[in-house]
């Protein structure tokens, strides 16, 4: 378990670029809102910590994690964002629905990330239990939203330096 070795909110702030010139889109799933809301807050707070202005953080919601692909694609085409963070949470149930949603969303976001002109950051939690999700949205393992925000800023810088 990789996150057991690394707190998702631990990082060296000196390695994170200043985001004051950039605009970030966040697409967040309404499903499992307790978890996704905490992930969103983590991402938002971290972006603010690194200089992104409140007016330059655009948040849009979609009903579920599967819809993150369409929402993120829309954000890359219809706004002038420098990066998109896709935030969702799928918790395993008793049917194979979990596998289909996780696989489809992951493949869709990966394909979008390959084709889009801006980075699309994967912020989908795929957990076996609610406790695992809670541990990753501000609990014992930190907040994956923090990690996504840092990744977005670093990938914008990467795109501008290559």
What distance in Å separates the CA atoms of residue 87 and residue 136, rounded to the nearest whole number? 12
Told to judge if 97 belongs to the known catalytic residues of this protein, a careful annotator would answer yes
Query: In terms of pTM, does the model score above 0.75?
Result: yes
What distance in Å separates the CA atoms of residue 145 and residue 130, rounded to the nearest whole number? 17
Is the pLDDT at 61 greater than 70? The verdict is yes
Segment 144-158 mean pLDDT: 95
Is the pLDDT at 52 greater than 80? The verdict is yes
88, 148 Cβ separation under 8 angstroms: no
Give the percent of the chain with pLDDT over 90: 78
Confidence of residue 158 (pLDDT cuts 50, 70, 90): confident
pLDDT the model gives residue 145: 95
Tokens at 132, concatenated: 């695992």
Give the percent of the chain with pLDDT over 70: 94
Strand 120-127 and strand 83-91: the pairing is: parallel
Which has more confidence, 40 or 94?
A: 40
58, 26 Cβ separation under 8 angstroms: yes
pLDDT the model gives residue 11: 78
* Terminal CA-CA length for the chain: 33
Q: Which helix (H) or strand (E) holds 63?
A: none
User: Across the chain, what does the average pLDDT equal?
Assistant: 92
Q: Which of 34, 97, 103, 128 is catalytic?
A: 97
151, 121 Cβ separation under 8 angstroms: yes
| Contacts of 4 by beta carbon, 8 Å cutoff, 6+ apart | 141
Q: Which helix (H) or strand (E) holds 105?
A: helix 97-115
Is the pLDDT at 159 greater than 90? The verdict is no
Is the pLDDT at 30 greater than 60? The verdict is yes
Tokens at 86, concatenated: 């896709």
pLDDT the model gives residue 14: 82
The class of domain 20-161 in CATH terms is alpha beta
Segment 116-133 mean pLDDT: 95
Q: Does residue 97 sit in helix, strand or coil?
A: helix
């Amino acid at each position: 378990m990789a996150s057991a070795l690394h707190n998702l909110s631990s990082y060296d702030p000196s390695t994170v670029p200043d985001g004051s010139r950039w605009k970030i889109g966040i697409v967040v799933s309404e499903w499992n809102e307790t978890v996704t809301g905490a992930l969103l807050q983590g991402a938002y707070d971290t972006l603010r910590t690194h200089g992104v202005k409140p007016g330059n953080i655009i948040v849009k919601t979609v009903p579920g994690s599967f819809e993150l692909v369409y929402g993120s694609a829309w954000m890359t085409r219809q706004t002038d964002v420098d990066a998109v963070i896709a935030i969702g949470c799928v918790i395993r149930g008793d049917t194979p629905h979990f596998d289909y949603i996780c696989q489809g969303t992951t493949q869709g976001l990966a394909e979008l990330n390959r084709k889009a002109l801006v980075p699309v950051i994967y912020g989908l939690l795929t957990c076996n239990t609610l406790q695992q999700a809670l541990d990753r949205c501000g609990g014992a393992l930190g907040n994956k939203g923090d990690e996504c925000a840092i990744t977005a800023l670093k990938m914008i810088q990467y795109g501008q330096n290559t």
